[in-house]
Chain A
């Protein structure tokens, strides 16, 4: 029985930990691969100072000046309602390591360079796009999902972007005596190799949450293992003493015990890894969908077994066992050979130990307090860890006080005994209850965070995407034609022209908008100066997004320098979730005056919502505008909702799993306790309480403890959510999310944890109700 609980406990802990780690590892590997879709991030890149394109002549001019660069063209290619990232490269100048080796080996160069061209895609995408394009499709495993590789000139043809490229890679081996290029004159900016992996930054929070989840689950599992090992050793004290008394060297005993533990931990760890793999493979598709939807990050929906997480998982299982067993082993070392062999059962929660634990709680709170005054992600996590551990350690103290109170409030003998006995059992259950508290608090915390994010994000989308349709024309001319075509057909056409530039040294976008009620009524402003919209419209002020404001510590009224020595004033700050870069909004006229050749391709269309879809179709049909260049606001919103639903699937699944682990912890504790509690129960039975009644009281006890823990876990969970939302999010991403509370979720959680507690108490209770009276009688016969 003990062996089983120990194996299952450790296996469950390892499973959650390794499952989460597997998902994280898989996703990260996919980003890396995506970032290396063409391993371009390892090279210095030259990107346009403004706009999105570099003329092909610039590439040739640089090469002819002895600067070895290789061009890339990227764009969205839509094939049968699916969007792909089409990447065109020049095989003849591409540096080593840019293109996956497998791709190189399968390409027929003449066909690669000649219409109808060839497209290299991963096997899944290849299967999907075959027949949708004239190009020959080649499947190569190492190409990232959603990425299509092709020849540069093929990409120019497919994207209808003649004679332009997106970026130039600076090759590592430049010729001797080469002169550095005059980037300013070419209107290029160099981006060093390490920068620019936005996806990993964006998705970081998601993985952070998962990792926190995994770690907490593992901690919960360790509580179980610690309890089981402690009990197993306690019960075998007699055996150990006898062995030692017979002359077995201490060292040998310890070695044997350690071998036993190692064996158990390996078996349990292995089982846990298998379970973790199952969890990961079940959840991965939802995680993949979430990441793709939220961040546009492509990860494979399939799991590959990575040796690193096997090794890490096993190591964690063994180390965890070691940590959990350390205390027990130390006790055996200190055990005097002639000590009485009686099991001490569970140490009573002595006053002294309470005090110690209380001091530890205060110390942890102090750490959290200090951490909250510091800046940085690490401090944020220190705050989080300190708070959670303090809460867990404080739990037995608070429960003990509550039970003490209940005991004194109770009048009748049975309730009075019930509360006193519950309090007496508390030490044995405290580890399991702490595990439950952590599980519940994590559930509430993460649930609140994800929920707040969803509510805020969708609300923000509502405000931000006020226009019914958004159009991104392929050229300035097309945009002009479209606008004059749309003017009589729509309620309003709102140009959104932009340049890409550097603000305060980092890449940013500058948008120009016209003065319109759409913005005044809807735009999500966080802080604003007086008459903010008049200022923007007249060109006397600019709006900046929250990220830029936080980074540069900007507030309304501060001065702001924009490219082209443009001095302006911050008129307002708006929230801009999901954008890693800075953004500035200015009056359209002011922007055009300074940057006459800006991109004039985007505009929003105001129209009655029920007519939007039809208008989008008309534009598509009349102008042949690819579907991905027209965003239908309602569809985008419903898509976002869908994405969040999948995020919730993952969160919910992890919630259930952590609860299961905590429930299991309660079960094991109760089982071990029940074996030793005959002495306490027998007198009551003798006094006339039926076994049935006693079993019922046991169930009640578990429920009461679970309920108390739940009530206490709510503030802890909210605190956790608060830290996640206002400390960690800001540190990691630069935006703050308002916290929303979801009491109905808590009610559900309460129900679930009650069910978990009752289920885990059910078996011990059943055993009690079936306990042969003879055994209970033995208590009085002094035969124990």
Chain B
């Protein structure tokens, strides 16, 4: 185990105390708590929120190559505070991945805050760790690289940012744990993937999630299944299911109209059931789901493009592109954490 793995064992990973995935269920002592009355203010809120324990800039893209194949990519920057006053400075963690129908490449970076090695500025917007960077927020460039892959994309969106939950206050458990959460699901992207087999020109759609909190999960919650779907009819659907050790699950989501108008779903209105499990990294992971949103007449099957999209990193989880079939068609991204 490396020092980094240890760091994240302590900071994030499930411990014997059943603190939930990535330690997100642990105590928030001294840290700020999300407030339902807070309203987003841009560009300020594109930047970091010191005082909150965890925060991320999370971009996923569904792409089609000029070779006709489907691809997915992920670019994520996590900020993890070591103390409420940022002394010592927070730890930054970057994850990047590219998924093809038959391969999955993932890599990670770490940095300490305060040195310039990693950070986020709100205006002009820039998020970076080492040479990975996301420059611009309405339009801009994105790049990352690992030992066996690299990508460089441009992205642009005209639609407004979409607050999730109740005006950006996203409840995660019946006991009230919550986060501040907004998304930009309307990016059009194009660029080049560098893969072991050569360069591929790609284009498609991307989705940015911005979320910060100090205590996301309740103590008995062990992980989540999270979906972001681009439906071919123009609507977007975000839904998640937080699994409890007690056997129950808290699920909710947002139905987003083509013009960006959010329609928060009531708890339980987003229904996701595993259809097929796949053995990856020694665990049984559901890689095919039945997803229903009765109030929007959605009854679809969500299938992983590559069931082996395992992020084998210091904090390990499943994350990869999916295809949507059924009452609606489309594509999207699936993230599953806390499967042991």
Contact = CB atoms under 8 A, between A and B. Distances in A.
Interface of A: 56-57, 59-60, 63-66, 68, 90-94, 96, 99, 101, 104-105, 107-110, 113-115, 153, 173-178
Contacts of A176: 145-150, 194
**Size range of the chain B interface in the assembly:** 20 to 34
B328 interface: no
Interface in B66-98: 82-83, 87-88, 91
A105 B131 CA distance: 30
B16 interface: no
Nearest to B118: A63
Contacts of A63: 111, 117, 130-131
Contacts, number: 88
Of all A-B residue pairs in the complex, the 9 with the closest CB atoms, nearest first, are A66-B131, A92-B110, A175-B145, A91-B3, A113-B88, A114-B88, A173-B147, A63-B130, A109-B7
A56 B6 contact: no
B1 to A, nearest CB: 6
A175 B2 contact: no
Contacts of B149: 176
B3 A99 contact: yes
Given A110-B82, A114-B88, A105 B6 contact: yes
Interface of B: 1-4, 6-7, 10-11, 82-83, 87-88, 91, 107, 110-112, 115-117, 128, 130-131, 145-150, 194
A115 B82 CA distance: 12
B27 to A, nearest CB: 13
B87 A174 contact: no
A105 B117 CA distance: 26
A536 to B, nearest CB: 44
A335 to B, nearest CB: 67
Nearest to A96: B2
A105 B1 CA distance: 8
Given A66-B131, A114-B88, A177-B194, A92 B112 contact: yes
Contacts of A107: 3, 6
Contacts of A174: 147
Given A92-B91, A92-B110, A175-B150, 4 more contacts: A94-B2, A104-B1, A114-B82, A175-B107
Nearest to A92: B110
Contacts of A175: 107, 131, 145-147, 150
A67 to B, nearest CB: 8
A25 to B, nearest CB: 30
Contact of B111 (A57, A92, A101, A114): A92
A110 B128 contact: no
Given A66-B131, A177-B145, A104 B2 contact: yes
Contact of B83 (A60, A90, A101, A110): A110
Contacts of A91: 3-4, 7
Given A65-B131, A176-B194, A90 B112 contact: yes
B159 to A, nearest CB: 32
Contacts of A178: 131, 145
A64 B109 CA distance: 12
Contacts of A56: 115
Contacts of A94: 2-3
Nearest to B129: A63
B29 to A, nearest CB: 13
17 contacts: A59-B115, A59-B117, A64-B117, A91-B4, A91-B7, A92-B111, A93-B111, A99-B3, A104-B3, A109-B6, A110-B88, A113-B82, A153-B112, A174-B147, A176-B148, A177-B150, A177-B194
A635 to B, nearest CB: 40
A470 B105 CA distance: 57
Contacts of B131: 63-66, 175, 178
Nearest to B9: A109
Given A114-B87, A175-B150, A176-B150, A92 B145 contact: no
B147 A92 contact: no
Given A92-B110, A105-B1, A114-B82, A60 B145 contact: no
